[in-house]
Chains A and B, each alone.
Chain A
Amino acid sequence: MDQLIQQFLTGLSIGSILLLVAMGLSIIYGAMGIINLAHGEFVMLGAYAAWFLQVQFGMGLLISLVPIFLLVAAFGWLIERFVLSFLNNRPLDTILATWGVGIMLQQAVRLTAGGELRYVKMPEALSNSTAILGVQISLYRVFLLVASLVLFAATWLLMNRTTVGMKLRAIIQDRPVAASFGVNARRIYGLTFAYGAGLAGLAGALVSPLKSVSPEMGTGYVIDAFMVVVLGGVQSLIGTVASAFILGELSGVIAFLQNDTVAKAIVLLAIVVLIRFRPQGMFATRVRA
C-alpha cells in the first residue's frame, strides 16, 4: 500500500512539472496556433534568471518569481513582435522560425553565462521532506504541485473571467469578426505570447532547484510539453491539466516497473495511437461547425 501511495505521489510530482511547462505552450498553441519550438528556451531563460538573481542580488527563489515572470514575458513579447507577427498565415513556418530563435537564445546564454552547469539554491523552508499519507515526500515537490495548480487556476481565471481573456477567446473563434468589433488582435496576441512565455520562465525557475541549470536544459522539455498539449486537446486548459497528470502517472509507473527509457518510448507510442484515432485530443472544445 505504501508503495502504491509513493508511486501515486511520484506520478503527481512528474505531472505537476509537466503541467508547469506545458501550460504556457497550451496557451500559445491553443490560442494562436503557433508551434513554439523555442518554448524550451523560455524555460531555460527562467532558470537562468533565477540563478542570476540569486548570484548577483542574493534574492531567494520565491521572491524572484515575479521579476522572472516579467523578464521572460518581456522576451516573449519582443519575439512575438519582431519575428512571429510576420508569420500570420504560415503556421508551419512558425516551427522553423521559433526553432531558429531557440538556437539563438541557447547560444546567447551559453556565450554570456558560460556552458557550465549552474546551481540554484532550494528555498530553506522547503528543503526538508514531509509525510503525506504515511509516505515521505520532498516538501519542495509538494510546493511544485501546489504552484502548478495555482498557476492553472490563475490562467483559467484570466482566460474566462477577464476582459482580456474574453477578447482572446473572441479572436480565437473568429479573428476578422472580432476585429470588426474593435478588438486589437495585434496587441492581444503580443500579450498572450508574453504570458505563455512568462509561464514557461516560471516553470524553469521553479524546477531548477531539483535539477541543474544548463543552456541545453530546454530541449528536453519541448517535446514532452507538446505531447501533453496535443494529448489534452488543443485549446483546452483542462485537457492540458488532465493529460499532464495522466502522462506523469504513466511515466512514473512504467519507469518504476521497467526503466525511464522504456517509459518514455511507451508513452510516446500511446500518444501516437491516440492522435491517430482522436486528433482533437481528449478534451475537444466544442466548436460550432
Chain B
Amino acid sequence: MQSKSADLTFLRRTNAELIAILAVCAIFFVVPVLLNNDYLLNKVARYLVLGILAMSLSLSWGYAGILNLGQAMSFGLGSYAMAMTLKLKTVPVHTGPQGLPDFMVWNNVTQLPWFWWPFESQAFAILAGIAIPAAVAAALGWFMFRGRVTGVYVAIITLAAMVVLNLVIIDQQQYTGGFNGITDLAQLELFGIAFDAYGRSTYYLVTICMTVALLVAYAFTRTKAGLIIQAIRDHESRVRYFGYDVGAYQIAAFALSAAIAGLAGMIYTIVMEFASPTFLGVQLSLSVVVWCAVGGRQSLLGALLGAILVAGVQGALSESATFLETWTLVMGGLFVLIVLFLPKGLAGLVASLWALIRQRPLRSVRGVHRIEQTETGA
C-alpha cells in the first residue's frame, strides 16, 4: 500500500540522515590522528565550534522559521559564563589583590560584584553557560511570540536585543572587561584533565560536544514537537486553527537553539582562550546567518558543514599572500552568487544530486508537504 512504502521511505530517509551525522562526527574524531600540528588542530576545533553555532541557528531558522539575527547573543553569554569562571581561577599575573580580575583592578573596583560570586564554582558556570542563554531566549521569545510578532520584526527585535547587550557589556567595563573582553584565563579542569587550547583534549571535547549537540537537535526534529514546529514554519495560522499553542512551541524551539549556542560559546572560550564583546557582535551574528544560508538552513548537517567550509575558506584566504587584499571581496561575491542560485544552500545541491542519481523527482522531505516559499518568506 502506498502508506506502507511512504513509511518505509520515511524511515529510510531518517536513517540516512542519522548515518550521515554519525559519519561526519566520526571523521572529525579521526582528524587528530592525521594532523600533527598543534596550531592547526586548534584552528579546526575553532571551525567546529562555529559549525555548532550555525547548526543551532538552522534549528531556529530552518526548522522553526524564526530568523534570529541575534544568535550571537546566546553564543556570547555562554562564552562569558565560561570566561568568568576561568578568570576567577587565575593567579593574578598583573597588579591586584587576591581574587580580583586584573581589569577590575585597573578600573579601581574594590570588591567583586555580586553577579560574579556564583562563578567561583565551575559547575555553576557550566550549567549557567547553557541555562542563561536559554532563559534569556525564552524571555525574549515570550515577549515576541506571545505578541504574535513574526517575520522581519523578529529579526529586528533579536538584532536590537543583541546590540543592547553588546553596548551594556562594553559600557560597563569595570565589571565585564568592556571592549577588551576577558583575557588571560586559566585552563579548564574537568575530571582531572586540563584542557589546553592547543592540545588534543580540547579538540576531543569539541567533537564530543558537537556530536551531542547534533544528536540532541536531530532528536528534537524527529519528535512530535519538532514536526509541529516545522508545520508552524510552513503555515502558522493553520497550526493555530488546529488548536496548538503556537507561541509555546516557538519559545521552546527558540530556547533550545539558544542553549546549543550557549554550549558552543562555552567551548569557544576554551578554544580561543578569551571572551570578547565581538562574540556578541553584529558581524558574527550576520556571519552565522551567512554560514547557515550557504550550508542549507533546513539541514542541521548542512549548516554545520557550511560553517566549517566558509569559515575555513575565509581563514585560509585571509592568510594567503595572494588574497590578503581581496579575500573579503571574493567572499562577498561568492556569497551573493550562492544566495541567488543556491537558495537551499549546499545541502540543497546535495539533495538535488541525490535525487538525480536516483532518477526520482525531488519530493519534499520528511513526508510533510512543504509549501513553496511565498511572500511571507521561508
Contact = CB atoms under 8 A, between A and B. Distances in A.
Contacts of A226: 156
A277 B282 CA distance: 25
A7 B37 CA distance: 60
B105 interface: no
A157 interface: no
Contacts, number: 114
B336 A104 contact: yes
B160 A89 contact: no
Interface in B325-341: 325-326, 328-329, 331-333, 335-336, 339-340
B171 interface: yes
Contacts of B377: 89-93
A91 B329 contact: no
Interface residues of A, number: 41
Interface in B280-321: 282, 286, 289-290, 293
Contacts of B160: 227, 268-269, 271-272
B354 interface: no
Interface string B15-42: 0000000000000000000000000000
B305 to A, nearest CB: 18
B329 A108 contact: yes
B93 to A, nearest CB: 29
A92 B332 contact: no
A223 interface: yes
Interface string A260-283: 011011001101100111010000
Contact of B156 (A99, A107, A230, A262): A230
Contacts of B289: 95-96
Given A87-B340, A92-B377, A95-B289, A100 B333 contact: yes
B373 interface: yes
Contacts of A96: 289-290, 293, 335, 339
Nearest to B283: A219
Contacts of B343: 90, 93
A101 interface: yes
Nearest to A93: B339
Given A100-B335, A226-B156, 11 more contacts: A35-B152, A86-B340, A89-B374, A89-B375, A89-B377, A90-B378, A91-B152, A93-B339, A104-B332, A271-B160, A279-B149
